[in-house]
A and B are shown apart, each in its own frame.
Chain A
Amino acid sequence: MREQWARRIALLTGLLVLMLAAMFAVMQNPIEPPAPPAPGTREQASFVESKDRK
């Protein structure tokens, strides 16, 4: 019984560390939201889109 708890807590620690390490890395390297298209590119974008549909 005590062995099982020791195993569980060790496993929990491992998972917690991996999770926090990943959180830290994400915090340090935030995923940039895609930049809004610059004015004047909208027509070009819709042109590309309509070409794709064809």
Chain B
Amino acid sequence: MRIVLSAISWVSIYLALVLVPLAVLTIGEMPPGSGFWWDFSMALGFAGMAMMGVQFFLTARFRRACAPFGIDILYYFHRYLAVLACSFVFLHFLIIRIDNVDALGAINPLEAPWYMTAGRASLLLLVLLVVTSLWRKRLRIPYDEWRMLHIGLAVAAFLLALGHIEGVGYYIQAPAKRWLWTGYTLFWLLLIGHVRLVKPWSMRKRPYRVAEVRQERGNSWTLSLAPDGHEGMRFEPGQFAWLTLRESPWHIREHPFSFSSSAARQDRLEFTIKELGDFTRGIRDTRTGEIAYLDGPYGVFSVDRYPDAPGFVFIAGGVGAAPIVGMLRTLADRHERRPLWFVYGNNRWENVTFREELEALKQRLDLRLVHVLTEPPAGWQGESGFITAELLKKVLPGDAGEYEYFLCGPKPMSDAVQRELRDLRVPLGRIHLELFDMV
């Protein structure tokens, strides 16, 4: 109930932040109407601007704001909202272009007033921002470079839009409105300062050192970190943190990884990482004693959120097992007695990460472990192929709908398993997954 109330209050704050500028417009003295479409376009421009500001709040990673929803969903929401904001700003421009083209003035920046050029440049950067985010992979932009570009474009588009509104001055000329508008924009600027300067500074005060780098099956490495001069991080099993390795926290070269270690131990934090991209391929070269910074913990993908569940079913593919093994290790340390199932899909038997440890965990937990291989070796007695409804029906208990389900793996696998679970009449609210691969 507390989570629901918290969620409702955060959604209300969000709606207020988006709608405040429209309310500000109606306060006190107002310029006379200039036609429906003109004023509609103005309102859309202000709302689009407010939505752009809200983006900085959504991605600021305030743990209290993230707690009821999960930070992955806030990023997901950020994506939708950015497309909406961009559409409203574009509509603002388009309506004026159709309704009163003379109001736009000259296109040439040398002849046009600076604030009109600022408005056009802001719109252009905003479109670029959305395009490079929605199609980053198709455009082959590396993640680290994309993040730098994303932040740069977002801040520049926002500042140019601010300049445009201030320069045009329409609707914010009355002193009360000017104060309110200045206060509102100052809030966003302070927020940007907090995220980009203050937060990295507080991370710098809590460094970690690489204690061990361990090779795992399936082209994966476990990076073990020990807190340096502080007590470490308390987290819920299944959660994740943003990791900065060998760089200053101001460099914005950070990547999200799930904790694979037990939450019962905060003095040694472990992440199991598969070699997939530029950053992850460099994990094997990490040396003991190197510095690391963590921003976290985040996420709602945790058994701790469901203390009354009669049992848990985990379904993972490949290195998606990392947060699940983190949960199993924690449950074993807590002497958990509830029944657990782990359906683990991999391509080959020799690539099954945590294979030996999972066997050992079976001795400490009431755990049914089901390996599913797409390329089984000769004489394989276990399950093979993909994780289908028939397979789940075979390995799960009759009252499957009573348990909480945790899925982690490549998106096609998660989508397919979700559909299969719906076929087995597992309620949607009992299926939990973390959305990592968003850009």
Contact = CB atoms under 8 A, between A and B. Distances in A.
B264 interface: no
B33 interface: yes
A53 B37 CA distance: 38
A7 B431 CA distance: 18
* Size class of the A contact interface (CB-based, 8 Å): 20 to 34
A3 B26 contact: no
Contacts of B76: 3, 6
A10 B38 CA distance: 25
B398 interface: no
A1 B431 contact: yes
Interface residues of B, number: 34
A16 B435 contact: no
Contacts of B431: 1
A34 to B, nearest CB: 18
Interface string B7-37: 0000100010011001001100010111111
B385 to A, nearest CB: 27
Contacts of B84: 10, 13-14, 17
Contacts of A25: 33, 36-40, 43
A32 to B, nearest CB: 11
B44 A28 contact: no
Contacts of A16: 15, 18-19
Contacts of B69: 2, 6
Contact of A6 (B32, B36, B80): B80
B77 interface: yes
Contacts of A27: 26
Interface in A4-32: 5-7, 9-10, 13-14, 16-18, 20-22, 24-30
4 tightest CB-CB pairs across the interface, nearest first?
A: A28-B33, A21-B43, A10-B80, A29-B33
